[in-house]
């Protein structure tokens, strides 16, 4: 009778534990993590400086200027006003480019680089499914992007609020850069840039084309959201007669023009009003009886921010679904087992 050979520990094969993907992801993209952290820290310090000492100095300079009255000569701290304006412009621009920086990085390295070099395919042989691999590459960076961008837009909004009523040259809430740099919609746009980069990387498998495509696609999405923004919440209409002139006032303009006697809306020729005979004849020929102005007042700030954010996140959710569909169509979504080959 043949005796059975004892089973040794060496003969027993145990599948290796799945690697800790989040830790590996952070180590793999450590340079980008350092750059992002440095950018957030430096820009946060600049925004705190803007909303604190710079605003105080510029506000005091405007008080000096206002106290001059009709005096022929006026001594005031003009450099502080100029410094505030310059720092505000630079920090606002820096916050606005955050979604594009995220899109460029995500498109160039987050998925395309690993697919291009074969690192992703090697990971899928280590009991890690492609779906889990992609989930980690979306979730971990999304948390960091949301935290960093959220901090920046909050500090920008506080810095802008600190100068309201104190600085005569301060931007209005409806100013395009101010509205986005200090609003939560920019956080959603940064997350959208991340998703766009991931999806483009899955499609291209090449870093440089994916980088360019991601930035262009994010710019297109930004433009789409901005075009839809004025129509995401019911606007307020102000009507005036021809003798009163065109309506004035601040806010985010949706549409404006002239009204005819039948209530029809026509574009305003902007010829100067009834004080000029030629202009009066032009308005008479158009049967104009007054003006209209559809706009959003300050009270619509948060409704517009929230609806624009919801639209942006909805687009991002669709792109996340598309990214998983693309991955599943190419890999089947299951971990690849078997002998590991060099890539």
**What pLDDT does residue 235 have?**
95
19 vs 88, which has greater pLDDT?
A: 88
| CB-facing half-sphere around the CA of 333: CA atoms within 13 A | 8
Q: What is the mean pLDDT of residues 72-95?
A: 92
pLDDT score recorded for residue 122:
81
Domain-wise residue ranges, the chain: 22-231+300-331, 236-298
Residue 185: Cβ-neighbour burial (10 angstroms; 0-12, 13-18, 19+): buried
* pLDDT tier, 2 (very low <50, low <70, confident <90, very high otherwise): very low
pLDDT, tens digit, 9 for 90 and up, residues 178-188: 999 999 999 99
- Residue 8 three-state SS: coil
| 179: number of Cβ within 10 Å | 22
pLDDT digits (tens, 9 = 90+) for 317-335: 999 999 999 999 888 644 4
Q: For residue range 133-171, what is the model confidence (pLDDT) as tens digits?
A: 899 999 999 999 999 999 999 999 999 999 988 998 899
Model confidence at 18: pLDDT above 50: no
Least Cα distance to 201 among 25, 322, 309, 317 occurs for 322
The mean pLDDT of the chain is 88
What pLDDT does 12 receive? 44
Whether pLDDT at 340 is above 80: no
Bridge partners of residue 288, in order along the sequence: 260
Looking at residue 6, its pLDDT comes to 47
- 189: closest CA among 303, 312, 304? 312
Higher pLDDT, 147 or 67: 147
Q: What is the DSSP letter of 276?
A: S
CA angle 73, 79, 80 (to 5 degrees): 110
Residue 22, pLDDT > 60, answer yes
Report the alpha-carbon distance of residue 214 to residue 173 in Å, rounded: 29
Q: Is the pLDDT of residue 341 over 50?
A: no
Over range 108-136, report the average pLDDT: 85
7: confidence class by pLDDT, cuts 50, 70, 90: very low
Q: Which whole number is the average pLDDT over 93-111?
A: 94
For position 51, what pLDDT does the model report?
95
- Judge whether residue 270 has pLDDT over 90: no
Query: For the whole model, what pTM was predicted?
Result: 0.86
Q: Is a pLDDT exceeding 60 seen at residue 50?
A: yes
**Does 338 have pLDDT greater than 70?**
no
pLDDT, residue 332, reads 65
């Amino acid at each position: 009778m043949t005796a059975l050979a004892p089973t040794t520990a060496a003969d027993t094969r145990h599948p290796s534990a799945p690697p800790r993907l989040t830790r590996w992801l952070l180590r793999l993209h450590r340079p980008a993590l350092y750059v992002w952290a440095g950018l957030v820290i430096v820009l946060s310090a600049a925004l705190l400086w803007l909303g604190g000492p710079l605003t105080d100095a510029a506000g005091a300079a405007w008080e000096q200027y206002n106290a001059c009255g009709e005096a022929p000569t006026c001594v005031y701290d003009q450099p502080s006003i100029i410094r505030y304006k310059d720092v505000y412009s630079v920090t606002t621009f820096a916050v606005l480019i955050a979604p594009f920086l995220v899109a460029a990085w995500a498109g160039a390295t987050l998925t395309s680089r690993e697919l291009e070099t074969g690192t992703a395919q090697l990971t899928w042989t280590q009991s890690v499914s492609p779906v889990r691999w992609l989930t980690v590459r979306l979730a971990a960076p999304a948390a960091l992007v949301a935290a960093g961008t959220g901090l920046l837009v909050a500090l920008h909004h506080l810095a802008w609020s600190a100068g309201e009523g104190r600085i005569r040259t301060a931007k209005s809430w409806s100013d395009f850069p101010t509205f986005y740099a200090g609003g939560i919609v920019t956080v959603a746009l940064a997350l959208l840039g991340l998703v766009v980069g991931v999806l483009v990387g899955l499609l291209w498998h090449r870093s440089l084309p994916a980088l360019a495509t991601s930035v262009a696609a994010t710019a297109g999405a930004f433009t789409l959201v901005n075009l839809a923004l004025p129509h995401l919440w019911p606007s307020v209409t102000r009507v005036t007669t021809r003798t009163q002139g065109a309506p004035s006032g601040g806010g985010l303009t949706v549409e404006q023009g002239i009204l005819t006697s039948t209530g029809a809306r026509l574009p305003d020729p902007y010829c100067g009003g009834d004080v000029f005979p030629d202009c009066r004849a032009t308005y008479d020929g158009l049967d104009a009886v007054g003006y209209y102005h559809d706009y959003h007042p300050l009270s619509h700030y948060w409704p517009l921010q929230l609806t624009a954010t919801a639209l942006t996140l909805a687009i991002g959710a669709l792109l996340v679904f598309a990214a998983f569909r693309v991955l599943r169509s190419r890999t089947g979504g299951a971990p690849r087992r078997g002998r590991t080959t060099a890539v």
